[in-house]
Structure 1
């Protein structure tokens, strides 16, 4: 500005601009004064619970003045020894407005001025829904927030300003009333009504000694869809459909809603419970009421009133947490103690049995074998190769092996010879080199096509090679577990963080009526109950390790029974099963950190692996040489998990996906059936079609001969019926829960094969000892109870979060665990029992030579 004082040409422009600036200010001031003088302001002293029918225009503004007393709870002492508590009930203030004039184009603006807040809204109130559709409400009711006060009792003033820009008069009704039950009482139900334009909120203060409460809201009607929110005591209160998600914790609801609130999250030791009715129902799974319209069109809101009931009750205390954790830990430690006692009893029994026998050094090998109830060892390492009449007979072998020694003509072999063969088998040998020897190539086509096979026919490969082959199962699943679990843990931590930060409790599908938080975890009890999978999986690994060590020691001392008798002992698959059970517990716990449809595969991936490994182990028992390699097995399981993810993402109602999956399911079933029926001795090439037609012509049309392997054919026919039926069910019904449907396929096939194995075992003259029989009965009972609790369905991510909460129920065990937690307990015990059945089922064959054990 200093340059403007200089006598130059530019100074003239500066003075001109200054004069214009002063002129504009003068004109605006005169205009504003004229405008203010044309608006008439009326001020009235308002009375509570009184209805005011007034009119307002653009030339008239009305101000209503109110005052009310705000009190708070205060503790003080009397007589210096006795502490008295005087509770002052704080009553809320509610402003209700109704527009009486029809057809007005200019809204009426209501502004409520308080000490620490300003609330404004227009009537008619416009709320937006999906696709920016607008809904108009002529009745509006809002509750005023209550800023915290330091004084025991304080008188506060507030003003209601009413104005409009309408040239014509607009009539309205105003009523300011007190909310008598504004402060919620513990364990006391309170009913009220709410609409989208008339939300409700109430105050709750934590009583002394209560650190956690559960806020429950119930309604008899599913719709209209509502939102329950828990917010800190502050102004403004976000109580409209378009802003209720801005702060605090919230969840949509139809009939039920429940939020667990902790004192530590609210510094004022109190909070608001806000109930908002949404303008549309699609968030709760309801249909869209209208098709998308243009943004300028207004829709009639209709009658969307909803009656609700709210109650706040104390949550469990720390003692219940401790009892729940001790109970969970005690159940599974009991199995450790029981296993230890059974091991001690078995060890003592075997010790007494050995004391009653002569030392092997005092007897010949033949006498030792005869005393143990078995024939001397075969001249072959895994049994005879001969195809004699007894082997070809369809009658089961039930006589003792010693009585059939003459029929088979076995040669005695000294322990030195056995030891020498053992040392040769431990030499470094590669499976591929061994399997491609000329004698193996020439023999396996003959052996595997025998009508009646024995285990010795399919246990010809080197033991050390097979042991390494099956150990790959364990190392592969351990590697998979590490690379699978780490990103899963990272993801669920992110999910939980998002829930805690945003307060959006629709992200996770908990049973909110029995979700006990601990630290950052929202539902600690659902995570804790998965401990059984980990502990029992570890216990199974210890049992397998003990058996593995005992077997290796028997081999090192050249024990004839370990070398020549029983089902070949390969423990790699058992180790893989135990590891899979532990990982199922870990990933199930990760899934329950925040259960929803995007991470449900975490809970099911290792279930597929467990089912697949159990089927492979059953098949390996009688087919040790031709079982699938770890790489091909895990590749197939990876394909299953891949389809599981595709089904979750694209399978809901997608006909094309279900057609493709059903066709692949049937084709894979046929290929697997062919592989099992011909023991792997078939080729999938361009000539497969011609060979199939030739077999159909020669065996079915020309001579109509029956199947050569009847037992296998019965199993495969039943398996194809079951799988084709499941494929047809999926194609027709298109179930939303594709992951559970896929798991049901795996479990049905496993149960079918297991039943076939038991039946064929009994048909072959074998018996089931006491321990596996007890395990079978115990496991069947536990599975029955487990499935009962599983199908209770406390939540389901196939529906909207609000619909899922309709299935929520209270805790049923120790006030800490719900039905799904009991499913975790029982299913982990049942899986452990199932693994023990597989481990001990063929213990009766430990003293039977392998050429007397039938293959089926």
Structure 2
């Protein structure tokens, strides 16, 4: 049409357009254009004509060749060679596919789509010249059938479902062109039948098209499929702004988790081949726009920055309240002074303390107290008790100046009723330095752990991008939004809450630490000893959980599962240690033994995933280790750290059994829980997800210990202040909501990639985040509130003497 002067006669256009390729356009132009022509609107008539021709020329023609031969003689197959302008395509009948263990599958019917030619408005439609050569070396005649047809629906349309059928010897592929206003699309493929196993591939416009089982992985991006598959395709990845969608049926199902036939021969082979037909439906829908990415990032950051705003408001309210309370106390209390404790509660010195003569020890937990405790430091000896910034070269022997502390601790720790003063006898500076090792060690562990993890996941993502094998990573492909080189940016972005809230928790702990140091300069014998090293370690662990979870979700699979769970074990373990340390500050585990125990747990988790699925012996050995470790820990807790685990343990255990169970029946002095029933459950049911099973053991023990602690606290007539009460309720509510989304399984690396994709579901939040992303958001908030519970749970004891605080 370009460069030609047209006469003003519509019959001419009918004559021009009456060709086999575009004959339907004549009726359209004549019907709608004649009225425009009669009204003198020649420009509109010409525009309509050009539009119809452009539409017709934009439709790509494709030809499909079908061949059939009744001969099953593999020695003399019929060879077909198709020669086109752009290439050569060849195959044989019977068509042979090779499966697992050298099994062969023969097909008598073969159907292939030839590489299409695309007419343009400049050149117009042209005839395709195709040569089909048929040959055979057989010494006898072989009958065959050849049929060449034109495909009517070769080009897929946006938001329009298309149904078709494919088999191993009759693959299908179709063309898709990006609309002008669409930069990214999602190819959704569904099928009613799980098997036969199939492969969906997206390939650039290159001839020949790789559409057989043995070569479909040579080009483009591909996924295996049972009932569902989804591939996100971006315009920038295809210079021609168009691509082929290829569908291949595999001759066997083992790649998708199905069984392999035990024998393939004779009639069984023919029956097996007849079952390898699959009905498929493909729909191509536009993906999200760039504005949705911006909205999702704003939502993620603003949601968690609101926690910062709430913390500032609470801190300001406490500051105002403390100022007014400080003024009131100074006006009404004639003796002593007022100090602000770490929790924000005002602690006034006792009037008798201020009025007693110099040298009196009424305000201290001395030998005259009911518990027999000793005050190890006072303002009269050495630097103030609150100075934790002393030189790190100071050792415990520099401060532990009371030799009788080693001789009487066995006696004190065997009392029936223990008070906090019995188990907080060491100088607080030394104990504080001991717990700060948790903080420095976890930073070291995080650096050495995270660097190789980051390097590994970058390698995984590079392999996925280079090879196009999307079976490597277990995404929720129906809600996997790429950004740059990342295939599922939404799964990574949703972990920002762990890092932001972990940093906020560190700031809150730092504030309370500073306030506590100021308060301890005045009085050091009231309330729970506040050693913040474990809290700092918990904040770092929460931030690292976000970092490693993001790394895991770069390419989640069987090989890197431990990245997502390692610091979950550490968080649960640190919380239990903090609960125990609250009432047992002098006898809590050291950082070295604690982290060594976490390392053993992580090793067991890895071994469990590798060997724990079907190996009965592994579960027997693991159950024995679990029970023995639980008994050892319970014994250590029962004897307050005085039971040595060495070669003489068996002799001492036999003596205890003889004296306490045989010679005389003695009741236990304390209640000690032993939650080793999980070992029996694991031995009987042998859950497939061993990593989650181990994490469940930690979480159940933590919840039971926390419930026990709160119950004993209430039984001891202690109070729950409004802030810890709010945190407990918020923790319960947020954890319940988070666990609901956690159990909405969207993928599973325990299964094959195709089986995992059956669980994929669309996004549920802002069109960008899926159920697992919501779990990330809620679990970060739940962990933050859980940490606040541990941080504020005993704030009511800041004005209670330690010889009045029971141990449990």
Tell me which interval the TM-score lies in, with the shorter structure as reference length.
Answer: 0.7 to 0.9
Q: Tell me which residue corresponds to 1:613.
A: 574
For 1:566-623, what per-residue CA distance to the aligned partner results, in whole angstroms no more than 9, with x for missing partners? 1111111100000000000000000000000100100001001101111111111111
> Would the aligned equivalents of 1:143 and 1:200 in 2 still touch at CA under 8 Å?
yes
Residue 676 (1) aligns with residue 670 (2): no
Q: Which runs of 5+ in 1 are unaligned?
A: 1-66, 393-407
Q: Tell me which residue corresponds to 2:104.
A: 134
Task: Report how far residue 806 of structure 1 moved.
Answer: 0.3
For 1:83-111, what per-residue CA distance to the aligned partner results, in whole angstroms no more than 9, with x for missing partners? 94742232421111111245574100111
Q: CA separation in 2, counterparts of 1:70 and 1:611?
A: 71
Which SS does the other structure have where 1:325 is aligned?
A: helix
For 1:443-464, what per-residue CA distance to the aligned partner results, in whole angstroms no more than 9, with x for missing partners? 2111111111111111111111
Closer/same/farther in 2, CA of residues 665 and 347 from structure 1, 3 Å limit: same
**Aligned partner of 2:487 among 522, 527, 538:** 522
Q: CA separation in 2, counterparts of 1:699 and 1:504?
A: 65
**Aligned partner of 2:365 among 363, 368, 383:** 383
Q: Tell me which residue corresponds to 2:138.
A: 166
> Would the aligned equivalents of 1:117 and 1:235 in 2 still touch at CA under 8 Å?
yes
Closer/same/farther in 2, CA of residues 628 and 359 from structure 1, 3 Å limit: farther
Give the number of aligned pairs.
751
Closer/same/farther in 2, CA of residues 80 and 331 from structure 1, 3 Å limit: farther
Closer/same/farther in 2, CA of residues 636 and 360 from structure 1, 3 Å limit: farther
For 1:705-753, what per-residue CA distance to the aligned partner results, in whole angstroms no more than 9, with x for missing partners? 21111xx23xx2xx33xx2x21122222222211111111111111111
Q: Tell me which residue corresponds to 2:152.
A: 180
Q: CA separation in 2, counterparts of 1:285 and 1:279?
A: 13
Q: TM-score, normalised by structure 1?
A: 0.83
Closer/same/farther in 2, CA of residues 320 and 300 from structure 1, 3 Å limit: closer
Which SS does the other structure have where 1:619 is aligned?
A: helix
Closer/same/farther in 2, CA of residues 769 and 375 from structure 1, 3 Å limit: farther
Closer/same/farther in 2, CA of residues 241 and 318 from structure 1, 3 Å limit: same
Q: Tell me which residue corresponds to 1:98.
A: 68
Residue 261 (1) aligns with residue 233 (2): yes
Closer/same/farther in 2, CA of residues 347 and 173 from structure 1, 3 Å limit: same
Residue 640 (1) aligns with residue 623 (2): no
Q: CA separation in 2, counterparts of 1:156 and 1:373?
A: 103
Q: CA separation in 1, counterparts of 2:172 and 2:352?
A: 87
Q: CA separation in 2, counterparts of 1:420 and 1:303?
A: 85
Q: Which sits farther off after the overlay, 451-460 or 821-830?
A: 451-460
Task: Report how far residue 541 of structure 1 moved.
Answer: 0.3
Give runs of aligned pairs for residues 319-334 of structure 1, distance below 5 A.
Answer: 319-334=291-306
For 1:815-843, what per-residue CA distance to the aligned partner results, in whole angstroms no more than 9, with x for missing partners? 00000000000000000000000000000
Q: Tell me which residue corresponds to 2:9.
A: none
Give runs of aligned pairs for residues 40-51 of structure 1, distance below 5 A.
Answer: none
Q: CA separation in 1, counterparts of 2:516 and 2:646?
A: 42
> Would the aligned equivalents of 2:61 and 2:117 in 1 still touch at CA under 8 Å?
no
Q: CA separation in 2, counterparts of 1:594 and 1:68?
A: 52
Q: Tell me which residue corresponds to 1:45.
A: none
Q: CA separation in 2, counterparts of 1:835 and 1:528?
A: 23
Task: Report how far residue 370 of structure 1 moved.
Answer: 9.8
Which SS does the other structure have where 1:131 is aligned?
A: helix
Q: Which sits farther off after the overlay, 425-434 or 133-142?
A: 425-434
Q: Which sits farther off after the overlay, 589-598 or 659-668?
A: 659-668
Q: CA separation in 2, counterparts of 1:423 and 1:69?
A: 92
Q: Tell me which residue corresponds to 2:547.
A: 586
Closer/same/farther in 2, CA of residues 674 and 820 from structure 1, 3 Å limit: same
Q: CA separation in 1, counterparts of 2:246 and 2:85?
A: 22
Q: Tell me which residue corresponds to 1:143.
A: 113
Task: Report how far residue 256 of structure 1 moved.
Answer: 0.3
Q: Tell me which residue corresponds to 1:502.
A: 467
Q: CA separation in 1, counterparts of 2:682 and 2:787?
A: 30
Q: Which sits farther off after the overlay, 746-755 or 802-811?
A: 746-755
**Aligned partner of 1:125 among 95, 101, 121:** 95
RMSD: 3.0
**Aligned partner of 1:247 among 197, 216, 219:** 219
> Would the aligned equivalents of 1:382 and 1:850 in 2 still touch at CA under 8 Å?
no
Q: CA separation in 2, counterparts of 1:209 and 1:188?
A: 17
**Aligned partner of 1:559 among 522, 525, 546:** 522
> Would the aligned equivalents of 1:256 and 1:805 in 2 still touch at CA under 8 Å?
yes
**Aligned partner of 1:222 among 187, 194, 203:** 194
Task: Report how far residue 69 of structure 1 moved.
Answer: 6.2
Q: CA separation in 1, counterparts of 2:469 and 2:738?
A: 32
Residue 836 (1) aligns with residue 788 (2): yes
Closer/same/farther in 2, CA of residues 331 and 306 from structure 1, 3 Å limit: same
Q: CA separation in 1, counterparts of 2:383 and 2:726?
A: 40
Residue 815 (1) aligns with residue 767 (2): yes
Give runs of aligned pairs for residues 513-552 of structure 1, distance below 5 A.
Answer: 513-552=478-517
Task: Report how far residue 553 of structure 1 moved.
Answer: 2.4
> Would the aligned equivalents of 1:568 and 1:624 in 2 still touch at CA under 8 Å?
yes
**Aligned partner of 1:745 among 680, 697, 703:** 697
Which SS does the other structure have where 1:276 is aligned?
A: strand
Q: CA separation in 2, counterparts of 1:799 and 1:666?
A: 30
Task: Report how far residue 80 of structure 1 moved.
Answer: 10
Closer/same/farther in 2, CA of residues 195 and 298 from structure 1, 3 Å limit: closer
Q: CA separation in 2, counterparts of 1:94 and 1:87?
A: 23
> Would the aligned equivalents of 1:68 and 1:156 in 2 still touch at CA under 8 Å?
no
Closer/same/farther in 2, CA of residues 699 and 68 from structure 1, 3 Å limit: farther
Task: Report how far residue 361 of structure 1 moved.
Answer: 11
Q: CA separation in 2, counterparts of 1:364 and 1:533?
A: 44
Closer/same/farther in 2, CA of residues 808 and 375 from structure 1, 3 Å limit: farther
Q: Which runs of 5+ in 2 are unaligned?
A: 1-18, 26-42, 341-345, 355-359
Give runs of aligned pairs for residues 170-319 of structure 1, distance below 5 A.
Answer: 170-290=142-262, 301-319=273-291
Q: CA separation in 1, counterparts of 2:259 and 2:689?
A: 21
Give runs of aligned pairs for residues 449-528 of structure 1, distance below 5 A.
Answer: 449-528=414-493
Which SS does the other structure have where 2:636 is aligned?
A: helix
Residue 598 (1) aligns with residue 559 (2): yes
Richer in strand (by share):
1
> Would the aligned equivalents of 2:347 and 2:798 in 1 still touch at CA under 8 Å?
no
Task: Report how far residue 176 of structure 1 moved.
Answer: 1.1
> Would the aligned equivalents of 1:230 and 1:274 in 2 still touch at CA under 8 Å?
yes
Q: TM-score, normalised by structure 2?
A: 0.88
Closer/same/farther in 2, CA of residues 333 and 163 from structure 1, 3 Å limit: same
> Would the aligned equivalents of 2:335 and 2:351 in 1 still touch at CA under 8 Å?
no
Q: CA separation in 2, counterparts of 1:468 and 1:292?
A: 71
> Would the aligned equivalents of 2:61 and 2:118 in 1 still touch at CA under 8 Å?
no
Closer/same/farther in 2, CA of residues 93 and 809 from structure 1, 3 Å limit: same
**Aligned partner of 2:84 among 114, 138, 150:** 114
> Would the aligned equivalents of 2:347 and 2:799 in 1 still touch at CA under 8 Å?
no
Q: Tell me which residue corresponds to 2:720.
A: 768
Q: CA separation in 2, counterparts of 1:205 and 1:515?
A: 22
Closer/same/farther in 2, CA of residues 364 and 475 from structure 1, 3 Å limit: closer
> Would the aligned equivalents of 1:567 and 1:622 in 2 still touch at CA under 8 Å?
yes
Q: CA separation in 2, counterparts of 1:156 and 1:423?
A: 91
Q: CA separation in 2, counterparts of 1:423 and 1:167?
A: 102
Residue 695 (1) aligns with residue 650 (2): no
Closer/same/farther in 2, CA of residues 118 and 326 from structure 1, 3 Å limit: same
Task: Report how far residue 301 of structure 1 moved.
Answer: 3.4
Q: Tell me which residue corresponds to 2:55.
A: 87
Task: Report how far residue 424 of structure 1 moved.
Answer: 10
